[in-house]
Amino acid sequence: MADIDLLNKAIESFNSASATLTQYYRTLEVKVQLLTEEVEHKNRLLDGILDSIDVGVVFFDKDGIIRLINSTAEGLLNVQANGVTGGTSLHASIQDEVIVPDSGKPFPALVSRSDVRDREGNIIGHVLIFKDMTQLKQLELENERNRRLTAMGELVLKIAHEIRNPLGSIELFASLLSGDLKGSEQGDYANRISNSVRSLVNTLDNMLRFSKGIMPKTELCSLNDLADEICGEFSELFATNKINFTFTEHDECRLPMDRGLMKQAIINIVLNSFQAIRGKGSIEVTIEKSADRRSVAVLIRDSGVGMDEETRSKIFEPFFSTKDRGTGLGMSIAAGVIAAHRGSIEVKSEPGKGTEFIIVLPVEELSGTAL
């Protein structure tokens, strides 16, 4: 009986130990599952981080075998991860800070290579990191180009200031000669010189105005007198080119404006109309008040070649010009001057049907006091 009791005790002890081991095993399984899930989560997180950055990352083990490559590196090198992982080549070379893929477009890059160590400090491989510098190189080139353009612009403005006054004198004396020699061939030559110099002075004024900005100094002026003055200045030029230039006024319009700026704006538009006419044609300038007498409209119509929709949409953009030798500033400055006077400008045009510019200006002080 004693032996049986001992055997039963031994069996009970074994069953107890077996149950303990089973419980421990189940606990271990849970811990392994949690650790596995944690590792998978960290791997997914690492993959997400590596694939979200705009830097190429490639990991080589200590034997030089590629074990990891992110999506950015795949795209830049034009390779697939499953095609290079497990191999030793990225199918690309580095030449003078330029990465040249075997099948793809070369690109300038910032490249870095670092050893990878474990917690004990042992080298377990190395990581290759590279960034596409194409956009930065383009920005550097653009910055250098802008720097040169700025320097050139400053030089041009200095030259414009230097030559504007002598040109004004030339225009004045040519006009005097034209008057003294009126009706003669020499007088015609003097008139052409005066017109050409006037056009050049207007171009210089546009350049200087664009560089300084538009800040009107307003005073009460007659828009009719201004328009009549412009007509007088250009009448001979248009007559010589067989262009009928007319000015019609329905009302006497006095309003607060910067006379010099407004003159330049209207001249720019009139010259644009003149340049749009091929051969004989006409330009009509009309001034009239609105029905409520709160605004004035200046209408400038021409019989020129007209504009398509694309040209019409860009006509007031700086440096946009359909002429080979144009600066592209005249219409932009005209629109800026009108906007600075709290006015608006609209253009209506169709190819082959001429163009009409509609300028609307408020008949009130810029402070808001009605006249």
Query: For the domain that residue 343 is a member of, what is the CATH number?
Result: 3.30.565.10
Residue 30: φ, ψ to 5°: -60, -45
DSSP H/E element including 130: strand 123-132
The string of pLDDT tens digits covering residues 339-366 is 989 999 999 999 999 999 999 999 875 4
CA proximity to 223, closest of 258, 271, 272:
258
Structural domain containing residue 348: 216-371
Task: Tell me: do 159 and 179 sit in the same domain.
Answer: yes
Residue 34: φ, ψ to 5°: -65, -40
Rounded (5°) CA angle 322-325-329: 70
* 32 lies in some domain: no
In this prediction, residues 273-277 reach a mean pLDDT of 90
Rounded (5°) CA angle 172-236-163: 30
Give how far the C-alpha of residue 370 lies from the chain's centroid of Cα atoms, to the nearest Å: 39
* 15 lies in some domain: no
Q: What is the full DSSP assignment across 293-354?
A: SSEEEEEEEE-S----HHHHHHTTSTT--SSTT--S-HHHHHHHHHHHTT-EEEEEE-TTS-
The string of pLDDT tens digits covering residues 203-244 is 677 666 666 667 788 889 999 999 988 888 888 778 888 899
DSSP H/E element including 126: strand 123-132
Task: Tell me: do 225 and 203 sit in the same domain.
Answer: no
Task: Tell me: do 360 and 221 sit in the same domain.
Answer: yes
Task: Tell me: do 128 and 141 sit in the same domain.
Answer: no
Give pLDDT, residue 297. 92
Task: Tell me: do 235 and 363 sit in the same domain.
Answer: yes
Rounded (5°) CA angle 345-346-349: 145
CA-CA distance, 150 to 155, in Å (whole number)? Answer: 9
Task: Tell me: do 333 and 224 sit in the same domain.
Answer: yes
CA proximity to 356, closest of 364, 365, 347, 366:
347
Percentage of the chain modeled with pLDDT above 90: 30
Percentage of the chain modeled with pLDDT above 70: 88
Residues in the chain: 371
Give pLDDT, residue 49. 78
In this prediction, residues 117-141 reach a mean pLDDT of 91
The string of pLDDT tens digits covering residues 145-195 is 878 767 766 776 677 667 777 777 777 777 777 777 777 777 777 777 776
Give pLDDT, residue 50. 75
Pick the more confident residue, 168 or 102: 102
**For residue 210, how many other CB atoms are within 10 A of its CB?**
19
The string of pLDDT tens digits covering residues 28-84 is 777 878 877 776 777 777 677 777 788 999 999 999 999 999 999 999 999 998 889
8 Å CB contact between 287 and 256: no
Domain count for the chain: 3
